[in-house]
């Protein structure tokens, strides 16, 4: 699962600048982040969220949007849809900072545009990394469930149902095996390993849920899962891997 990024900026030049900066960051970082919307008006944001509500999004909002709806009002509406939204304001009006606090929209940063492009870029990067960090921490505390999207549908499984996740024969897709069935969706193994602490990395292409192991034979290196699937683990796996499996089998 990726963390969606939304940008709303009414100035076309500034919108292009922030888009280029964010795309550059995403290109060189293997993070669970995805730029899903770059908009010039609040209406575009409302339209997008009405069709595809987001969760744990990162929102870069200009305060003065040149309409009767400013960035603070937009943030309030976003938070009604995405209660765990990470709001980051960008503006040339630094005197607006206290007003954002007064309105209690829970902004995590306030970035001034009137600075060098290098400083502006660095501030955007810092805000993005901070938003990702606090979202990661929240997810690790709450990840009793496993969620993913297929088209316009969101699937949610209790972690006890998850058996394993591995790369599919179809590029960029993963296969999820649950106790009762299999599913395919788009995501990255590395991102899921960071996001879901209950998953254990069996190999570069496979994550497993140790709690759904029925038997582990350390002579043949064959693991049998509760849904009947089997996987062979590499001979060079560390003691930590064996310890984690043995610990799960004892529960």
Q: Is pLDDT at 248 greater than 90 in this prediction? A: no
What is residue 86's predicted lDDT score, i.e. its pLDDT?
92
What is the gyration radius of the CA atoms in the chain, in angstroms?
A: 21
Determine the pLDDT at residue 99.
58
Domains and CATH numbers, the chain: 3-142 (3.40.50.2300), 145-249 (2.40.50.1020)
Whether residue 242 is predicted with pLDDT greater than 80 in this model: the reply is no
Q: What's the average model confidence in pLDDT over 128-137?
A: 84
Lowest pLDDT segment from 146-155, 178-187, 237-246 = 237-246
- Is pLDDT of 241 > 80? no
Contact indicator for 163, 227 with CB cutoff of 8 Å: yes
Predicted pLDDT at 167: 95
- Per-residue pLDDT tens digits for 71-98: 889 999 998 888 889 999 988 766 555 5
Does 251 score more than 60 pLDDT? no
Average pLDDT (153-175) is 91
Q: Does pLDDT of 228 surpass 90?
A: yes
pLDDT computed for residue 230 by the predictor? 94
Q: Provide the pLDDT confidence category of residue 1 given band limits of 50, 70 and 90.
A: low
Distance CA 54, CA 58 (A): 10
Burial of 41 (0-12, 13-18, 19+ CB in 10 A): middle
pLDDT, residue 46, reads 94
Q: pLDDT tens across 170-226, in order?
A: 988 999 999 989 999 999 998 888 778 788 888 889 999 998 998 888 888 889 999
Asked whether residue 103 carries a pLDDT value surpassing 60, the answer given is no
Mean pLDDT of 29-49: 90
Write out the two tokens for 214.
């029925």
Among residues 126, 113, 114, which one has the least CA distance to residue 25? 126
More confident residue, 196 or 230: 230
- The residues, ordered by sequence, that sit 6+ positions from 181 with a Cβ below 8 Å of its Cβ are none
DSSP reduced 3-state for 86: strand
């Amino acid at each position: 699962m990726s963390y969606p990024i939304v940008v709303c900026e009414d100035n076309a030049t500034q919108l292009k600048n922030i888009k280029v900066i964010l795309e550059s960051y995403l290109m060189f970082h293997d993070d669970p982040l995805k730029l899903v919307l770059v908009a010039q008006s609040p209406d575009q944001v409302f339209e997008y969220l009405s069709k595809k509500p987001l969760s744990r999004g990162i929102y870069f909002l200009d305060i003065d949007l040149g309409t009767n709806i400013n960035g603070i009002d937009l943030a309030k509406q976003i938070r009604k849809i995405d209660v765990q939204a990470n709001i980051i304001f960008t503006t040339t009006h630094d005197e607006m900072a206290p007003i954002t606090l007064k309105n209690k929209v829970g902004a995590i940063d306030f970035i001034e545009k009137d600075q060098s492009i290098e400083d502006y870029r660095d501030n955007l990067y810092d805000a993005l990394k901070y938003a990702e960090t606090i979202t990661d921490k929240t997810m690790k505390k709450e990840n009793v469930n496993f969620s993913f999207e297929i088209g316009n549908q969101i699937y949610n499984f209790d972690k006890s149902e998850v058996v394993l996740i591995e790369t599919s024969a179809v590029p960029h897709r993963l296969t999820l095996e649950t106790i009762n069935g299999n599913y395919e969706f788009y995501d990255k193994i590395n991102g899921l390993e960071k996001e879901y602490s209950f998953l254990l990395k069996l190999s570069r292409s496979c994550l497993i849920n140790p709690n759904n192991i029925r038997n582990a034979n350390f002579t043949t290196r064959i693991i049998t899962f509760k849904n009947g699937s089997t996987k062979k683990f590499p001979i060079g796996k560390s003691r930590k891997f064996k310890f984690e499996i043995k610990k799960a089998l004892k529960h």
